Amino acid sequence: MRASKVMVADVTFVADLSGALFWQEQRLLIVSDLHLEKGSSFATRGVLLPPYDTVATLGRLAAVIARHDPRMVIALGDSFHDRDAHERLSAPDREALSAMQARRDWIWISGNHDPALPSDLGGVVASEVAIGPIAFRHEPTGAAGEIAGHLHPKARVATRGRSMERRCFASDGERAVMPAFGAYTGGLSIRDPAFAKIFPTQGLMAHVLGDNRLHAIAASRCY
Amino acid sequence: MPSPDPLPFTPLETAALLPDRFRRWFAARGWLPREHQLALLAKASDDRSALLIAPTGAGKTLAGFLPTLVELSSPAASKGGGEKSLISTGRGVKRTGGLHTLYISPLKALAVDIARNLETPIAEMALPVKVETRTGDTPVSRRQRQRRYPPDILLTTPEQLALLLSSDDAPFLFSSLKRIVLDELHALVTSKRGDLLSLGLARLWRLAPEMRAIGLSATVAEPESLARFLVPQRDGKETAADIVVAGGAAAPVVEMLDTKERLPWAGHTARHALGEMYDLIKRNKTTLIFVNTRSQAEMLFQDFWRMNDDGLAIALHHGSLDVAQRRKVEDAMAAGKLRGVVCTSSLDLGIDWGDIDLVINVGAPKGASRLMQRIGRANHRLDEPSRAVLIPANRFEVLECRVAIDAIAENAQDTPPLRTGALDVLAQHVLGCACGEPFLSDELYEEVLTAAPYASLTRTDFDDVVDFVATGGYALKTYERFARIKQDKQRRWRVTNPRVRQSYRLNVGTIVEEAMLKVKLVRGRGGGAGATGMIGRGGRMLGEIEEYFIEGLVAGDTFVFGGEIVRYEALVEDQVYVSRANDKDAKVPSYMGGKFPLSTYLAERVRKLLDDRRQWNALPEQVRDWLSLQRNFSLVPAVRELLVETFPRGNKYYFVCYPFEGRLAHQTLGMLLTRRMERARVRPLGFVANEYALAVWGLGDMSFMIRHGKLNLAALFAPDMLGDDLEAWLAESALMKRTFRNCALISGLIPRRFTGEEKSRRQVLFSTDLVYDVLRKHQADHVLLRAARADAAAGLLDLKRLGDMLSRIQGRITHRELEHVSPLAVPVMLEIGRESVYGEAADELLAEAADELVKEAMG
């Protein structure tokens, strides 16, 4: 099972093992928190992380786009790690991005890391988008029918003295927070109070990204 | 082994070596200078470096310092007529009068203790010698003063030496250095700290060509190779320091407890012998009880506590306890107030505490030399034998104890061979060098080659490390403008900005501590797991515990800590809240296995013992019976033979083999075997490894498959499993990620501490797992991945040992198809469920969590 279903306000989404969300009827693909050029961002501060994170992230994005062939892609904010990050994109990475944008609509939602994206990146820049009953924005507000990113949810599961931590979708059926898609993005535990503010109900589920399938686990079972 | 000094020194020779005031001082204390103390003086006067091999209590430390004290006591030898003057030069201040002797110890407590001990002879002989210590605890003001006005003798640690060497003051401090004394050298050289120290030595040899070294060591297997550490290696030729062996120690008296109780089949607690151990403590003045892991110490201490009707003063000592708590125990011990101390390797090294008349070693000795060093903690007077009792916790450990006792009687040693220097440590050192005076690659390469662990470093590896330090060493050259070090017009490498220097200083050292959490005892919620309500806040700190252990717990799980059974309540920031539990047994076992696997040498002896029936007579009756049963039911394997047993049990099929190569090598073997079995459609479900054996279980009938040639054992154990299968597994292995993390931190790729603030360890700056995944995919031959690979091979995976075993058993695999479990298999079978089952299948674990939920939901 490479994917599983996630409901938000009566719309059924397919949660992809890569961390992307697909809306079949709309042929809409959503990814969040790519944090492109995070490696080089650290390098400017003397921490010389391997400069391959952008190519790795774009490679995975290209694969999931090839799989679903969406009509539209929404990048749900923090697509670039800092304000100047897009200027550091290498020429091949820029081309790879353009190739993905060809023949489809592309919306960059701005996030706190990339509040002002230039127009030459291709696609459209917006602060939020509403499609049908669903609102797409970077920072979650807790409104019903909302799909957001920003928090990088992850879940830790423990049994019999062993534990495992993975990225996850957080959803209670009314709203969802997407996992971060970027190669160098860490995470925040789904048990952090930040999630309780957004998900007022008891029914919060973590759709955990396993190696070969997704697992739906109650957030109360996670750490 | 080199023989002890052949001839005693004549009085005339003694007089020439030892000045009058020293002889009078010895006489006043009723002492005679020992042979090896004089021998070290003779080496010093011949201008030779020396390795002193001596048991504990042989006056080793005094021997190491005598040459320095003698030299400094004669006015002619003191530097610049004893005046320290300041001469201003262009660059800051040029001064005369640096250090004379540097002493390096693995423990800062030991350095402080030695300084105290040195004060006595210095004061009593009124020697004009100033001694100071420098550790992480030394106040900044004193550290600054030490750099301007250094003492004659400075006692410090490898990390502090690295820091001093990276400072502008290094040439001033060290160019006058005459001697370096390296204490507990046998312990230092087995880790990356030894690598760092060796690079520091190489630097010192360049700054102070006249410096000679004295190494102080316990007995080791290869003294000649250890002696190479002490002198510069040049031109590919091996050179070594002279070796001095202190003789005269009485042979220790070591016995194995011949228990009246039933010997357990498995387990590590030795609970069956509690009463007998308690009696031993009662009959002796002070007993040290060594166990292999922290959790064993916890459990044993708790057991003693329950049965302590005589109110004996028994204490607990291990590395995770609160420091204040440990000091209290140590002080009580020094004052002779304790009857027993249950301890881990936290007391393997270190300061002497008066009269310990018995050492009890619980569980597997693991290695003969290690055991000998522990036993040496008893009775620090040379002329009386140390006494020790070994308590095997299960039947296999009886065999191990037996051969360890034999090995000690033969004075056989099994310390590991000298390390090959690690590249991540070299990276740290290269940055440290650039923080001091700028360097030329050619010159630094030549210098590094003089360090014994790096004597065969290739120029390519060296250049890759320098490239890594400069710009990360990436094939994609995008970081030139962010370089940490750059070449100037003379092609000398220098740091590009002060921030780099600051970051180096904050991150120096090779000890990567497990992330630890503080454990706080609070009042429970009552009502057991899942109950809601406030958790009491106030409470006592019990100590620290590894974060990865806590991550495996769910609220309500019980485990042993701080000498009691506690219930895990919650994790609040970096504190683990626990409450007192009344359960008799902890739910979650915390036996992680000792840090060290069974030594190759003892393993070989155990196999020989099994193979030689005449030797069985020296074993307790219960163990003889066990082995006889095995012989009748299955087979007792010959020395070079690998026995494989298969049998059904419940609705599963089991596969047990007995390589005797230690837990680490067995875990690696288990990972690789199960991959192959999966391909052979055996459908393996899991495996468990202990020091002697490996058990795999699955859904396929392995007996049937072997009988019908569907599972070929020779092919299953073919050494080529260390090729592609290993690569494929390593790529995803959590062990590999953990190893990479250490390399990333030590090499400085990811800072442990950022300027100014120390990050709380829970908010690690950056997940090294993410870096590992990306780097492996995009530059698999990167120098850090090579470093991690080398570490894993020698450490957690024990690849060399596994490889040796696979070639040893080729053509010698014997299969026994059995109806049910064999006597020899019982111990490892009993580990199932007790030890955490190995395997890294994420989906199974996640699915299990999801299934449990379904069960819950269905009521």
> What confidence category does residue B84 fall into, taking pLDDT thresholds of 50, 70 and 90?
very low
What distance in Å separates residue A78's CA from the closest CA in chain B?
18
In the prediction, which pLDDT does B595 show? 58
Rg of chain A in Å (alpha carbons): 17
Strands (E) in B38-130, as ranges, are 50-53, 86-88, 93-95, 101-104
> What confidence category does residue B78 fall into, taking pLDDT thresholds of 50, 70 and 90?
very low
**Mean pLDDT value of segment B511-528:** 71
Q: Are A180 and A167 in contact (CB under 8 A)?
A: yes
More confident residue, B832 or B60: B60
**Mean pLDDT value of segment A25-44:** 96
Summarize chain B as % helix, strand, coil (round to 5). 45, 15, 40
- With helix as H, strand as E and coil as C, how does B214-228 read? EEEECCCCCHHHHHH
Instruction: For strands B50-53 and A153-159, give the pairing.
Output: unpaired
More confident residue, B325 or B426: B426
In the prediction, which pLDDT does A124 show? 95
In the prediction, which pLDDT does B2 show? 45
**Mean pLDDT value of segment B376-395:** 81
Instruction: Say if A204 is an interface residue toward chain B (CB within 8 Å).
Output: no
Interatomic CA distance for residues B773 and B765, integer angstroms: 17
Q: Show which of residues 669-688 on chain B sit within 8 Å of chain A, judged by CB atoms.
A: none
Nearest CA in chain B to A53: B774
What distance in Å separates residue B589's CA from the closest CA in chain A?
8
**Mean pLDDT value of segment A54-68:** 97
In the prediction, which pLDDT does B625 show? 93
Instruction: Say if A118 is an interface residue toward chain B (CB within 8 Å).
Output: no
Instruction: Say if A161 is an interface residue toward chain B (CB within 8 Å).
Output: yes
Give the number of other CB atoms < 10 A from CB of residue B158: 27
Give the number of other CB atoms < 10 A from CB of residue A119: 9
Q: Tens digit of pLDDT for each residue in A150-209? A: 999 999 887 656 677 899 999 999 999 999 999 999 889 998 889 999 998 788 999 999
Instruction: Say if A163 is an interface residue toward chain B (CB within 8 Å).
Output: yes
The highest-confidence range among A126-140, B105-119, B740-754, by mean pLDDT, is A126-140
* β-sheet bridge partners, residue B232: none
Enumerate the residues of chain A whose CB falls inside 8 A of the CB of residue B427: none
Instruction: Say if A56 is an interface residue toward chain B (CB within 8 Å).
Output: yes
Instruction: Say if A92 is an interface residue toward chain B (CB within 8 Å).
Output: no
Helical (H) or strand (E) element with B112: helix B108-124
Nearest CA in chain B to A206: B850
Enumerate the residues of chain A whose CB falls inside 8 A of the CB of residue B852: 159, 221
Residue B530: pLDDT above 50?
Answer: no
Residue B92: pLDDT above 60?
Answer: no
What distance in Å separates residue B495's CA from the closest CA in chain A?
12
Instruction: For strands A3-8 and B575-580, give the pairing.
Output: unpaired
Of A55, A160, A215, the CB nearest to B778: A55
Q: Do B846 and A50 touch (CB under 8 A)?
A: no
- With helix as H, strand as E and coil as C, how does B663-729 read? HHHHHHHHHHHHHHHHHCCCCEEEEEECCCCEEEEECCCHHHHHHCCCCCHHHHCCHHHHCHHHHHH
Enumerate the residues of chain A whose CB falls inside 8 A of the CB of residue B548: 163
In the prediction, which pLDDT does B738 show? 82
Given the structure tokens 């228990």, which residue do they identify?
Answer: B259
Of A51, A208, A223, the CB nearest to B476: A51
Residue B239: pLDDT above 70?
Answer: yes
More confident residue, A80 or A212: A80
List, in order, residues 6 or more apart from B51 with CB less than 8 Å away.
B185, B214, B215, B217, B223, B226, B227, B230, B240, B241, B242, B243, B244
Residue in A41, A44, A48 to test binding to B, most B beta-carbons within 10 Å: A48
Interatomic CA distance for residues B629 and B397, integer angstroms: 18
Residue B688: pLDDT above 80?
Answer: yes
Instruction: Say if A158 is an interface residue toward chain B (CB within 8 Å).
Output: yes
What distance in Å separates residue B482's CA from the closest CA in chain A?
6
Interatomic CA distance for residues B752 and B760, integer angstroms: 10
Enumerate the residues of chain B whose CB falls inside 8 A of the CB of residue A40: 478-479
Of B479, B499, B842, the CB nearest to A164: B842
- For chain B, percent of residues with pLDDT exceeding 90: 49
**Mean pLDDT value of segment B389-393:** 94
> What confidence category does residue B536 fall into, taking pLDDT thresholds of 50, 70 and 90?
low
What distance in Å separates residue B588's CA from the closest CA in chain A?
6
Instruction: Say if B836 is an interface residue toward chain A (CB within 8 Å).
Output: yes
Q: Tens digit of pLDDT for each residue in B290-315? A: 998 877 888 889 889 888 889 999 99
> What confidence category does residue B215 fall into, taking pLDDT thresholds of 50, 70 and 90?
very high
In the prediction, which pLDDT does B350 show? 63
In the prediction, which pLDDT does B818 show? 95
Residue B430: pLDDT above 80?
Answer: yes
- Comparing B120-124, B541-545, B667-671, the range with the smallest average pLDDT is B541-545
What distance in Å separates residue B119's CA from the closest CA in chain A?
46
What distance in Å separates residue A53's CA from the closest CA in chain B?
7
**Mean pLDDT value of segment A42-64:** 95
Enumerate the residues of chain A whose CB falls inside 8 A of the CB of residue B469: none
Q: Tens digit of pLDDT for each residue in B645-687? A: 999 988 889 999 999 998 889 988 988 898 899 889 888 887 8
Instruction: Say if B853 is an interface residue toward chain A (CB within 8 Å).
Output: yes
Residue B586: pLDDT above 70?
Answer: no
What distance in Å separates residue B755's CA from the closest CA in chain A?
12
Enumerate the residues of chain B whose CB falls inside 8 A of the CB of residue A185: 770
Residue B270: pLDDT above 90?
Answer: no
> What confidence category does residue B207 fall into, taking pLDDT thresholds of 50, 70 and 90?
very high
Instruction: For strands B813-817 and B684-689, give the pairing.
Output: unpaired
More confident residue, B107 or B602: B602
Interatomic CA distance for residues B371 and B290, integer angstroms: 10
Q: Do B553 and A161 touch (CB under 8 A)?
A: yes
Interatomic CA distance for residues B491 and B480, integer angstroms: 16
In the prediction, which pLDDT does B79 show? 46
Residue B86: pLDDT above 50?
Answer: no
Nearest CA in chain B to A205: B850
Enumerate the residues of chain A whose CB falls inside 8 A of the CB of residue B832: none
- Tell me, what amino acid is at B773? D
Residue B279: pLDDT above 50?
Answer: yes
Instruction: Say if A211 is an interface residue toward chain B (CB within 8 Å).
Output: yes
Instruction: Say if B744 is an interface residue toward chain A (CB within 8 Å).
Output: no
Q: Show which of residues 534-573 on chain B sit within 8 Å of chain A, judged by CB atoms.
A: 548-549, 551-554, 571
Summarize chain A as % helix, strand, coil (round to 5). 20, 35, 45
Of A158, A166, A217, the CB nearest to B853: A217
Enumerate the residues of chain A whose CB falls inside 8 A of the CB of residue B773: 183
Interatomic CA distance for residues B833 and B51, integer angstroms: 48
Nearest Cα to A126, choosing from A116, A140, A112, A134?
A: A116
Enumerate the residues of chain A whose CB falls inside 8 A of the CB of residue B771: 49-50, 184
Enumerate the residues of chain A whose CB falls inside 8 A of the CB of residue B503: 46
Instruction: Say if A44 is an interface residue toward chain B (CB within 8 Å).
Output: yes
- Share the mean pLDDT of chain B: 85
Instruction: For strands B86-88 and B93-95, give the pairing.
Output: antiparallel
Q: Do B551 and A156 touch (CB under 8 A)?
A: yes
In the prediction, which pLDDT does B238 show? 84
**Mean pLDDT value of segment B363-392:** 83
Q: Do B482 and A218 touch (CB under 8 A)?
A: no
Q: Tens digit of pLDDT for each residue in B733-782? A: 777 888 899 999 999 998 876 654 444 433 445 788 899 999 999 999 99
Q: Do A158 and B499 touch (CB under 8 A)?
A: no
What distance in Å separates residue A156's CA from the closest CA in chain B?
8
The token duo for B172 is 């001033």
Residue B528: pLDDT above 50?
Answer: no
In the prediction, which pLDDT does B1 show? 42
Instruction: Say if B74 is an interface residue toward chain A (CB within 8 Å).
Output: no
Q: Do A157 and B499 touch (CB under 8 A)?
A: no
What pTM value is reported for the model? 0.86
Instruction: Say if A120 is an interface residue toward chain B (CB within 8 Å).
Output: no
What are the backbone angles phi and psi of residue B132, rounded to the nearest 5°?
-140, 155
In the prediction, which pLDDT does B712 show? 95
In the prediction, which pLDDT does B81 show? 41
Interatomic CA distance for residues B230 and B179, integer angstroms: 11
What distance in Å separates residue A55's CA from the closest CA in chain B?
9
Q: Do A183 and B773 touch (CB under 8 A)?
A: yes
**Mean pLDDT value of segment B78-88:** 43
> What confidence category does residue B851 fall into, taking pLDDT thresholds of 50, 70 and 90?
low
What distance in Å separates residue B603's CA from the closest CA in chain A?
30
DSSP B121-181: HHHHTT----EEEE-TTS-HHHHHHHHHS--SEEEE-HHHHHHHHTSTTHHHHHTT--EEE
Of A52, A165, A211, the CB nearest to B778: A52
In the prediction, which pLDDT does A2 show? 61
Helical (H) or strand (E) element with A151: none
Q: Do B571 and A223 touch (CB under 8 A)?
A: yes
Interatomic CA distance for residues B456 and B452, integer angstroms: 8
